[in-house]
Structure 1
Amino acid sequence: MTEKLDRYDRHILAILQDDGRISNQQLADQVGLSSAACWRRVKVLDEKGILKKHTALVSPEALGYDLCVLVMVTLIRHQQDDAIEFQQAVQGYPEVLQCFAVTGDADYVLRVIVQNMAAYDSFLNEKIFNLPGVSQVRSNFALREIKNETAIPIDL
């Protein structure tokens, strides 16, 4: 979905990605619009799904999630039912922060956060290994975070 965005919309998006708690008046001042015009533009960006979600980013470590794992999952065969069931299941697992269908050696890559190795072992044995069609699971453990951005690059 490529949406034509003018310079005001792009500027609004750039500012909101940096500070989602900014007031509408402050946003309007920074973009150079009236408060009402700015509010209408943000509302349209919301309605079109360009602004996907208003949220706060929380430190996983502050809540005891000390282990980040990149999990590569391969299904036994590429049957649509197994793929659909897998995708639906991982959407319900709070430990899974991201899931991508990928090309290459695996069918899916998951970004999983858990408290420790025992919690990861439970996650695998109670959830992933119980899904039909799962053939292989390979885990890569993050040693440290180098970069973790949420902002989409925007040309102003």
Structure 2
Amino acid sequence: MKDDNHLDEIDRKLLRALQQDASLSHAALAELVGASPASCWRRIKALEASGVLREAVRLVDPEKVGRGVNVMCQLRMKSHAAGPRQEFEAFLRGRPEVMECHAMSGEWDYLMRVVVADVAGYEHFLMGVVLNHPNVATAASHFALNQVKYTTAMPV
């Protein structure tokens, strides 16, 4: 598997270019990175096979699809045993409102980023769904006022 120490400059240029526009053709990529289209294709396939490159997606503007409320929610669990944690994590993976969830160290067990249409939608999600889960003890919510920075591009 390629890791950060085994990526050469052409790999890094490919990664930067694909993070900006995943729809670029191999010919366009070749021109950008200074390699042949066939070489770009082989490198991309190798980066995919090694797991460095994951799925290609299109990003959706949350405001334009009625999901303009962005909430950071901290959760504390009733139990830290493996079974309840795994059950809760599987539950969260099935919730479309949850854009990200991180198991955390420190005072809180999880940090979720939730997107909803409005405050009422978040209240329903929090009170009717999350806090009704048998493994959740408590939650703290923080509403984002403005998105200062957002990127999906990994520095390479």
TM-score, with normalisation over the residues of structure 1?
Answer: 0.94
Counterpart AA for 1:51: L
Match of 1:130 among 129, 132, 136: 132
Runs of 4+ in structure 1 deviating by more than 2 angstroms, as ranges, are none
Distance 1:35 1:2, change over 3 A: closer
Cross-structure match for 1:8: 10
Alignment partner of 1:64 out of 46, 63, 66:
66
Partner in structure 1 of residue 150 of structure 2: 148
Report the Cα distance in structure 1 between the residues aligned to 2:128 and 2:26, rounded to whole angstroms. 46
- In 2, Cα distance between equivalents of 1:100 and 1:94: 15
1:22-33 paired onto structure 2 within 5 Å: 22-33=24-35
1:102 maps to which residue?
104
Question: What residue is the counterpart of 2:23 in the other structure?
Answer: 21
- Amino acid across the alignment from 2:130: I
Displacement of 1:2:
6.8
Secondary structure of the equivalent of 1:127? Answer: helix
Q: Shift of the alpha carbon at 1:35? A: 0.7
Tell me the number of residue pairs that the alignment of Structure 1 and Structure 2 aligns: 154
Shift of 1:129: 1.6
1:130 positional shift: 2.3
Distance 2:70 2:144 in 1: 5
The residue number in structure 2 matching 1:47 is: 49
Q: 1:30-59 CA deviation, whole Å, 9 max, x = no partner? A: 111111111011011111111112011111
Match of 2:87 in 1: 85
> Deviations along 1:61-94, whole A, 9 cap, x unmatched?
0001121000000001211111101111110100
* Whole-angstrom distance in 1 between the partners of 2:151 and 2:33: 23
Classify the secondary structure of the residue corresponding to 1:36.
helix
Unaligned 5+ runs, structure 1? none
State the alpha-carbon separation in 1 of the partners of residues 87 and 153 from structure 2: 31
